[in-house]
Chains A and B, each alone.
Chain A
Amino acid sequence: MSGIRRVSVTCVLLISTFAAAEESTVLLQALQDELARSIEGLELEDVVKPHFIGYTVHTDRSITVNASKGGIENVNNDKSRRLEVEMRVGSRTLDNSNYMSRNFRNQRVNRTLALEDDYGLLRKQIWLATDNAYKDSIETYAAKEAAMKNSQQETTLDFSTEEPNVFIDERRSQKLDFVDVRNFARELSEVGQDEAFIYDSDVVAFTNQHTDTYLNSEGSHFTRRDDTAWIRVTAWSQSDDGRYVSDFLYIVGRAWKDIADLPKVKREVTAMHERLKATREAEPLDRYNGPVLFTGQAAAELAGQVLARNLINYKKPVFENDSVAAMFNRAMLVSTLKERLGARVLPRSWNVYDDPTQTTYKGIDLVGHYPVDSDGLLTRRVNLVENGILKMLLSDRNPSEDIQNSTASNATGAGPSVSNLFIEGTDGLSDDELTQLLLDIVEENGEEFGVRIDRAANPFVQISGVPSPYLGSQIGQAIPAISAYKVYPNGDEELVRHAVVRGNLLREMRNLPGYSSNISVHNSNYMFQGGDVSAFSGNVPVFVSIITPDILIEDASLSYMEGVVRSLPIVPHPHTN
């Protein structure tokens, strides 16, 4: 926890005492003064008053570079500062949050702020944003109240009670160099550029220095560095039957310099291209039902796409009417585990917890780390599953019937999410033992072979020009494999392509025949939905670390991936001439 200072306070007046050297005292003063004035005086006759105001100022310095074939395709080098207002009118029992109408939109008011600290101007900008937020909120409150009266919709408490905190993040951002990032992306995109089997490839390098400055009417205040960086390399081709084959490399970190090891990344890209070439030439997988061993990154995707999204506390919104409920209910993700709190959902030997306080695991950086969540709550380890029994779901300050308080899991301000998800088991097997167990099940079932998946798709990684491998499938209900092998009892292995795992994998995870004692760490992005729907602003990717063993599923269904089939290019690749 070095470099981070925690202080709990009960009085907002103490805030300035803890300001770190880099913190903008002018910005903070402007936020404080406008907050005090608004909470005191912002009201209209016979209309509900604010019971809570939260200000978050997002300051970004971001660089995005797209490169391919040794050149730059697209760049963006930007600096911005934005105020987000969380305005709650009414009371904790009933406020304007979590209401979904036909004209649904994100109700958080956002306003661009001056990059520089001009107290008078900041006050003015905060004042106008607060005024807009209040007017929007009282209209929403009235509509929500009317909808509840008309439809007898029940709702739980709308806002949890939490202790205020002050937190100053003393970590410093690394210096960003646009030319450095640009050159990195360009050089990386040279790898494989002469390979005719690669139809197209793309490198995206992204780095962002992000600082949140937060202040709310309960006395919480924090500054938080939330720097992110990632490198994404994609490549695609077509197999002889016209199916698209693609692969990707996705390196995620908290600082550009931590991930931008060019020789190392080049090697990884070369390996990715080799995988792509092999996959392109592999035979497609026929229908398969039987044991599947998820290893490494594929195990993390299984945990991330199937388990993690079900560990979120989803609060049911109040709908304007039945037709709105019908329209949006289908689109909303709902935790299928929510009804199983207190019941066994995973192997008895498993403990699962989320711990955003951890920065590393066995020397490997964890990207899911954050010291304080976007509601100003100090993060802590949250035990989710103990001995296979579901104990808790991750929540923000929007309570549901079962979970009344936040677990400080509002990582990005878009609702609760997983951060560093640890899956630990006490009965792990060695790699050889786990493979043998796979083959034992194969033999027991009288199957010809079992399947091992080393790499799987990630829903966040879209490849331009290539249909999504999730086409025709719901996220969480299907995992498209990128590297899958038939594993024969004699030890032979055969790469197959276009396999997608379907079925109720979450249920299968309850009774696993085995998992590895080896634990691996995977940093990636996932998207979650939960919390206050009024603050939902689309699919906000969250940086997540998944620390998981390899996982053997006893009975999974694999089928040929649905999707678009195109005839092969009529004109040969230019490199073949």
Chain B
Amino acid sequence: MHKSIQHCQRLAVFSALLFSVGVINAERLEDRNVLSAMAQELERSMSVLAEQPDPPFYISYEITDNSRAYVSTSFGEVTRSSESGGTFYDVDLRVGNPQMDNTHLANRRPFPRVAYGSLASQAGIRNYLWLLTDRSFKQASEQLVNVRTRSETQIDTDGPAFDLAPAVEVAHSEPKRSIQFAHTQWEKRLQRASNVFNGHPKLLSGNAQASVVKNVRYFVNSEGSRIQSDELMYTIVLSASTKADDGSNLNLSKLFHSRKPSDLPSNRELTRTADELVTMLIDLRNAPNIEPYTGPAILSGRAAGVLFHEILGHRLEGHRLKQTNDAQTFKDKINQRVLPESMSVVFDPALEKFGDTDLLGTYAFDNEGVAGQKVRVIEDGILKRFLLGRSTLADEGFRESNGHGRKAVGLSSVARQSNLLVEVEDPYTPSQLEEQMISILKERDLEYGLYFDDIVGGFTITQRSLPNAFTVRPVIVYKVYQDGSRELVRGVDLIGTPLAVFDSVIAAADDMAVFNGQCGAESGNVPVSAISPSILVGQVEVQRASQSRAILPILPPPGS
């Protein structure tokens, strides 16, 4: 009986949601007309506002046209099916001069200011921009008064740094990508994948989700740049959770990203991945909690990628080196060794793929109209460069943006990471790396070392007022004993301070792996990637992870 009801209702659901994301903004202008309206209003604003006592020396407009579709299933059934989209308007207006403008020494727009608009007519586009420009100009003028006052009362350590470094005029247009997302097909695929989680009564959740996000971005500025970019990303997330007998909540997930739906995993791969998640979760339920530990550890490529992102990447973001409340860990370490000689670190926003994996931190131009450039921040272990947006540093060689000024909609750009790539000369094989760790264990007469196989993310603190530490959240960790045997353990976070960890990096393997994720910081969430091999660290510290103490469900599962 249930089957027939299910079938009938499913038909009803499908007919209601046979949508196409394309109909969300079907009446929008052609790209060139959008850019032309933006440019006209920008020129008019610059011209009229030039008569003001402190006229703007720079204006940029950015419009982001976002479309998304989403399907979620749980244990083989659809739980959500939606489509959404919006068009957001942003204005960056500067008064003063490039060395000291209204953003100088100030926290810029800490909260997002989201302004919606449509793209149906040039008159409409100009209307939105007119209002936003007026508001931005008045706000900037107020800020400039504060900046000038503050510059009289505070020591300015910025020297000849730019608040807005010059950039070249660019014209860039990307081909249109269309969304291919049939809800009905996705619902079926994901139902099949999440159906794998059925039959495992210990699982408390078992989900398969898919989404597609498309952002068409239009950018014009008073330097003459005209940019239209088109980003499209499909994501599948498989996730499941259970609860251990000690109350710990155990969650595992696997994400797949691709710019083309055809590059996403097949149904068979999804099913296999879901099976693997189940197996690992069951193993984790039975795994013991580990005590706080210090000693050697191997971080898998994904775990090491996150580690580099947290402890290195955030500390190389140029704007932090101008903030007096930031610890500025690497400010005076240019041309000094920070990693083993065999290791280099590169940020490359132009890199679209690594192996078969599409990278999230890819873009042609940043949110300040500057081409994303490949930046070799560490060469042969020596710190060489920082990531810079148009807010640059005083030192020679760091006074130009390298195209890493990034932000989420409604926020102000700061220097952010793109695709982080750790390069290693003469790497070990993974088994050699493990052998090396075992020899350290024997040397130090330690019972075991740790192998961090997978992580969910991490965070770091860069301010001076707090301990300058990082936390990486592992989900799959093994004890590796002197005899090479492994034991799955759980319940720890990897913690530490950046310089101590870098000093402890001993070697790396040749097994590059990709971590794709969203990085949250003061300019909002931006997509990033970290690609790294496994690394051996001589000394890490782990602490107990925060853990639920809630008991297991009181009643047994229904039907058991």
| Residue ranges of A at the interface with B (Cβ–Cβ < 8 Å) | 24-26, 33-34, 37-38, 41-44, 61, 66-81, 112-121, 123-128, 131, 134-135, 176, 178-179, 182, 186, 189, 193-194, 199-200, 464-465, 566-567, 569-575, 577
Contact partners of A69 in chain B: CB under 8 A: 117-118, 120-121, 123-124, 127-128
Complex Cα distance, B37 from A69, in Å, reads 14
Smallest Cβ distance from B269 to chain A, in angstroms?
24
Residues of chain A lying within 8 A (CB to CB) of residue B81: 78-79, 115
7 tightest Cβ-Cβ pairs between the two chains A and B: A71-B118, A71-B120, A69-B124, A114-B77, A74-B86, A123-B558, A73-B116
* Complex CA distance for A69 and B127, rounded to whole angstroms: 9
A186 contacts across to B, CB distance below 8 A: 27, 120
CB distance from B538 to the nearest CB of A (A): 43
B273 an interface residue at 8 Å Cβ cutoff?
no
Which segment, of B18-26, B97-105, B158-166, faces chain A?
B18-26
Return A458 CB to nearest CB of chain B, in Å. Answer: 21
Indicate whether B553 reaches chain A with its CB closer than 8 angstroms. yes
Q: Can you pick out 29 interface pairs between chain A and chain B where the beta carbons lie within 8 Å of each other? A: A26-B2, A26-B5, A66-B116, A69-B120, A69-B121, A70-B120, A71-B117, A72-B24, A73-B116, A73-B118, A77-B82, A78-B84, A79-B80, A80-B79, A80-B80, A115-B78, A116-B77, A116-B78, A118-B75, A118-B76, A126-B558, A127-B555, A134-B554, A178-B19, A182-B23, A189-B118, A193-B123, A570-B49, A570-B137
Q: How far is A25 from B4 in the complex, measured between Cα atoms in Å?
A: 12
Question: Contact between A114 and B79 (Cβ–Cβ < 8 Å)?
Answer: yes
Q: CA A227 – CA B557 in complex, angstroms?
A: 35
- Bound form: Cα–Cα A199–B127 in Å: 8
Bitwise interface map of B from 541 to 560 toward A, beta carbon under 8 Å scored 1, else 0: 00000000011011101110
Q: Can you name 11 extra interface pairs (CB under 8 A) apart from A37-B558, A72-B118, A114-B75?
A: A66-B86, A69-B118, A79-B82, A116-B10, A120-B558, A123-B558, A127-B558, A193-B123, A193-B124, A200-B131, A569-B134
Instruction: Find chain B residues with CB under 8 A from A114 CB.
Output: 74-75, 77-79
**Which A residues are in CB contact (< 8 Å) with B6?**
26, 116-118
Residues of B within 8 A of A38 (CB): 555
Max chain A CB contacts within 10 Å: which of B82, B127, B128, B557? Answer: B127
In contact, B16 and A79 (Cβ under 8 angstroms) = yes
State how many angstroms separate the Cβ of A123 from the closest Cβ of chain B: 4
The one of B2, B131, B133 that contacts A199, using a Cβ cutoff of 8 Å: B131
User: Does residue B87 face the partner (Cβ distance < 8 Å to A)?
Assistant: yes
Which residue from chain A places its CB closest to the CB of B137 in the assembled complex? Answer: A570
Question: In whole angstroms, what is the CA distance A567 to B52 when docked?
Answer: 14
> Is B138 positioned at the interface, with any CB of A under 8 Å from its CB?
yes
**What is the minimal beta-carbon distance from B210 to any residue of chain A, in angstroms?**
15
Best-surrounded residue of A42, A75, A194 (most CB of chain B within 10 A): A75
Residues of A within 8 A of B126 (CB): 574
Q: Which of B2, B45, B118 contacts A119 (CB 8 A)?
A: B2
Consensus secondary structure, chain B interface: mixed
Chain B's closest residue to A40 (CB) is B555
Residues of B within 8 A of A570 (CB): 48-49, 52, 134, 137-138
CA distance A186 to B118 in the complex (A): 10
| CB–CB A73/B80 < 8 A | no
CA of A545 to CA of B76 in the docked complex: distance in angstroms? 43
Residues in A whose Cβ lies below 8 Å from that of B28? 71
Interface string of B256-294 (1 = CB under 8 A from A): 000000000000000000000000000000000000000
Name B2's contact: one of A79, A81, A118 (CB within 8 Å).
Answer: A118
Min distance, Cβ A48 to any Cβ of chain B, angstroms: 13
Q: In residues 107-128 of chain B, which contact A (Cβ within 8 Å)?
A: 115-121, 123-124, 126-128
Q: Is the CB of A124 within 8 A of B75?
A: yes
Contacts of B82 in A (CB 8 A): 76-80
With both chains docked as a complex, state the minimum distance between the C-beta of B236 and any C-beta of chain A, in angstroms.
19
Chain B residues closer than 8 Å to A67, beta-carbon distance: 118
Pick the contact of A70: B16, B72, B124, B557 (CB < 8 A).
Answer: B124
Measured between beta carbons, the chain B residues less than 8 angstroms from A73 are 86-87, 116-118
8 Å CB contacts to A: which residues of B11-49? 13, 16-17, 19, 23-25, 27-28, 41, 44-45, 48-49
Q: A196 — nearest CB in chain B belongs to which residue?
A: B127
Decide yes or no whether B9 CB sits under 8 A from chain A: yes
- CA of A24 to CA of B13, assembled, Å: 14
Which residues from chain A contact B16 at a C-beta distance below 8 Å?
Answer: 61, 79, 176
Q: Is the CB of B80 within 8 A of A571?
A: no
Cβ of B130 under 8 Å from chain A = yes
| Inter-chain contact A74/B85, CB cutoff 8 Å | yes
Name the CB-closest residue of B to A122: B77
Contact residues in B for A176 (Cβ distance below 8 Å): 16
Q: Which residues of B contact A72 (CB under 8 A)?
A: 24-25, 27, 85, 87, 118, 120
In Å, the complex CA distance between A174 and B427 comes to 66
Chain B residues near A135 (CB, 8 Å)? Answer: 550-551, 554
Q: A131-B554, A571-B130 are in contact. Are A79 and B19 (CB under 8 A)?
A: no
Q: What residues on A are CB-neighbors of B49 within 8 Å?
A: 570-571
B83 at the interface (CB under 8 A from A): yes
CB neighbours of A115 from chain B (8 A): 9, 13, 77-81
- Which of B84, B124, B128, B133 has a CB less than 8 Å from the CB of A75? B84
Closest to B66 in A: A74
Tell me, in angstroms, the Cα distance from A105 to B368 when the chains sit together. Answer: 41
Selected contact of B44 from candidates A121, A128, A571, CB within 8 Å: A571
| Interface residue B204 (Cβ < 8 Å from any Cβ of A) | yes
A24 to B10, CA, bound (A): 13
Question: A199 to nearest B CB, angstroms?
Answer: 6
The answer to whether B119 touches A121, judged by C-beta atoms less than 8 angstroms apart, is no
A28, chain B: closest CB distance, angstroms: 11
A33 to chain B, nearest CB (A): 7
Residues of A within 8 A of B557 (CB): 124, 127
Residues of B within 8 A of A66 (CB): 86, 116
Distance to closest chain A CB from B280 (angstroms): 21
- Assess whether A70 is in contact with B121, with CB atoms less than 8 Å apart: yes
Chain A residue numbers with a CB within 8 Å of B72 are 112
CA distance A572 to B72 in the complex (A): 48
Interface hub of B77, B87, B198, B204 (most chain A Cβ within 10 A): B77
- From 201 to 257 in chain B, residues with beta carbon under 8 angstroms from any chain A beta carbon are 204
Measured in the bound complex, the distance between the Cα atoms of B16 and A34 in whole Å is 30
Q: Which residues of chain B in 125-168 are interfacial with respect to chain A, using CB atoms and an 8 Å cutoff?
A: 126-128, 130-131, 133-134, 137-138
Cα distance A573–B204 in the bound complex, in angstroms? 57
CA distance A250 to B76 in the complex (A): 41
CA distance A375 to B553 in the complex (A): 27
A77 touches B121 (CB 8 A): no
How many angstroms between the C-alpha atoms of A182 and B77 in the bound complex? 29
B80 to chain A, nearest CB (A): 5
Contacts of B77 in A (CB 8 A): 114-116, 118, 121
Please indicate the chain B residues that have their CB under 8 angstroms from the CB of A566 in the complex: 138
Q: Are B80 and A124 closer than 8 Å at their CB atoms?
A: no
Q: List the B residue with the shortest CB-CB distance to A29.
A: B2
Q: Are B27 and A70 in contact (CB under 8 A)?
A: yes
Interface residues of B in 40-97 (CB under 8 A from A): 41, 44-45, 48-49, 52, 72, 74-87
Contact (Cβ within 8 A) B555 A37: yes
Verify B130–A81 contact, CB threshold 8 A: no
CA–CA, A377 to B192, complex, Å?
41
CB distance from A198 to the nearest CB of B (A): 9
For A61, list chain B residues within 8 Å (CB): 16
